[in-house]
Amino acid sequence: MSHLSVEAAFAKLDEAIAALPVMQLPLGQALNRVTAAPLAAYCDLPPFDQSAMDGYALRVADATPSPVSLPLSTTVAAGPHDTLPVLPAGHACRIYTGGLIPQGADAVVRQEWTARDGETVIIQRPTPLGQDIRRQGEELRRGTELIEAGRRLNAGHIAMLSMAGVADAAVRRAPRIRVLVSGDEVVDAGRALRPGEVYNANGPLIQAWLAQAGYADVSVAAVGDTEQAVREALQQAFAQSDLVLTTGGVSVGDKDLIAPEAEKLGARRVLWKVAQKPGKPLYVARHGAALLIGLPGNPASVLVNLATFVRRALDRLEDVKTVAPHLQAGVLASPIKADSERESWVRVRIEVDAQGLTRVLPQTHQASHMLSNLSAADALAWVPVSDAPIPAGHTVRWLSLGL
Ligand SMILES: Nc1nc2c(c(=O)[nH]1)N[C@H]1C(S)=C(S)[C@@H](COP(=O)(O)OP(=O)(O)OC[C@H]3O[C@@H](n4cnc5c(N)ncnc54)[C@H](O)[C@@H]3O)O[C@H]1N2
Ligand code: MOO
């Protein structure tokens, strides 16, 4: 069998991809982008000694032994100070959560452990040194690395970096993506089908999948099954984008025009045909700086190749440190039919049972022209080539569909 194994095809894909240029972005625009350099804290965290409670700042020596009454001096609310507050000896100072600890204070007593008598406060319990003070730099120091290069920024990262005063980040430029949906039989939902037509699944699938994955510079167009239409659409896409995704037209029929037209335009083939099911006639080529991934037209083939090859290509373009696919392990809840020549991607649902065991539940309707099991499936089991089915109870590897 001459088709590439999935691993061998990943390796060829990797070799063909150069990382995109680096740019500086305000952190607020960097969600889902990939860091191109480590990012370090701009300030200590906490940035100053601060109160962890609403209560009273005092000197422990003044509050020992307890109970003791202390006269109140100024109030310290959370907020900026032009001059640093000072706690006079023998006094307590009203303070709120996040308030700057006044000079001289070495503990905070929470309100619940005190009583008020006009302008004095009664401290009812013994106060340990440093109680309820969040110390400057106790979490981390200015200059501490918060995140390495090659990480895709999520909401948590954005929060963590913002808190440490990081205003912008060096990231890989987001890829510009053009999607060409080929096939004269494909029409958009919204009108009745004529004999021989099917509704467009691949265009909406790719568009929604890319949006969900955080790619905004995406355009989707239909292209007819003529040499000229395919060539013109490819030529324009190569000139305008970093990644061109096509669907359909990569098999062996006379109307399968993607590879021949791309190569007439000077594209250099990276790979064609992977021993996987579905998604076998996957075609990858390079044209100048643009990468073309020709996805086989069957909708399940598009789905699988998005979660595997496209996901990995995007990670490589953006120089992600740990590239997809991210495989996990789980126990098969029912047998899976393997293929004797191709590795299979089987749509499954992942459940964690009461004992904490990850169970992998294969779904029905697995053929490559079917998608209706996506109401239940959320992952793909990666099934090795085998003449025999994989029995229930076996551990299999799976990856999230990213939906
Ligand atoms: N003689 C052979 N025929 C086929 C082979 C083969 O090895 N030898 N491989 C089969 C496999 S596997 C696949 S996958 C398909 C892939 O073919 P293409 O990439 O050329 O895709 P098309 O023929 O254009 O379409 C396949 C199928 O998918 C439907 N389709 C296409 N686009 C859409 C869309 N946007 N939305 C919904 N459905 C779509 C199309 O109508 C076809 O039914 O080739 C096999 N044939
Ligand atoms: O590769 Mo095809 O997607 O098996 O139907």
Dihedral sign, Cα of residue 391, residue 394, residue 396, residue 400: positive
Ligand 2: residue of 273, 301, 305 to mutate (most ligand atoms within 8 A of CB) is: 301
pLDDT tens per residue across span 340-365: 999 999 999 999 999 999 999 999 99
* Region of residue 2 (left: phi > 0; alpha: psi -120 to 50; beta: else): alpha
Ligand 1: residue of 293, 298, 303, 342 to mutate (most ligand atoms within 8 A of CB) is: 298
User: What number of other Cβ atoms are within 10 A of residue 399's Cβ?
Assistant: 18
- Is 90 exceeded by the pLDDT of residue 79? no
State the pLDDT confidence band at 128, using cuts at 50, 70 and 90. very high
State the pLDDT confidence band at 78, using cuts at 50, 70 and 90. confident
User: What number of other Cβ atoms are within 10 A of residue 311's Cβ?
Assistant: 22
User: What number of other Cβ atoms are within 10 A of residue 401's Cβ?
Assistant: 20
Ligand 2: residue of 3, 277, 305, 366 to mutate (most ligand atoms within 8 A of CB) is: 277
User: What number of other Cβ atoms are within 10 A of residue 261's Cβ?
Assistant: 21
- Is 90 exceeded by the pLDDT of residue 402? no
Q: What is the mean predicted confidence (pLDDT) over 55-82?
A: 94
Whole-angstrom distance, CA of residue 204 vs CA of residue 215: 14
pLDDT of residue 270: 98
Per-residue DSSP letter, 299: H
- Is 60 exceeded by the pLDDT of residue 215? yes
Residue 299 alpha carbon to ligand 2 centre in Å: 9
Q: What is the set of domains in the chain, with CATH numbers?
A: 6-20+174-318 (3.40.980.10), 23-45+138-172 (3.90.105.10), 50-134 (2.170.190.11), 327-400 (2.40.340.10)
230 within ligand 1 shell (Cβ under 6 A): no
Q: What is the mean predicted confidence (pLDDT) over 180-191?
A: 97
pLDDT of residue 255: 84
Dihedral sign, Cα of residue 85, residue 89, residue 93, residue 95: positive
Residue 203 alpha carbon to ligand 2 centre in Å: 17
367 within ligand 1 shell (Cβ under 6 A): no
pLDDT tens per residue across span 294-340: 999 999 999 999 999 999 999 999 999 999 999 999 999 999 999 99
pLDDT tens per residue across span 379-397: 999 999 999 999 999 999 9
369 within ligand 1 shell (Cβ under 6 A): yes
Residue 45, phi then psi, degrees to nearest 5: -130, 125
Task: Return the percentage of the chain with pLDDT > 70, whole number.
Answer: 100
Task: Return the percentage of the chain with pLDDT > 90, whole number.
Answer: 97
Q: What is the mean predicted confidence (pLDDT) over 68-89?
A: 92
- Is 70 exceeded by the pLDDT of residue 1? no
Q: Which protein residue's CA is at the shortest distance from atom 4 of ligand 2?
A: 278
- Is 90 exceeded by the pLDDT of residue 403? no
- Is 80 exceeded by the pLDDT of residue 2? no
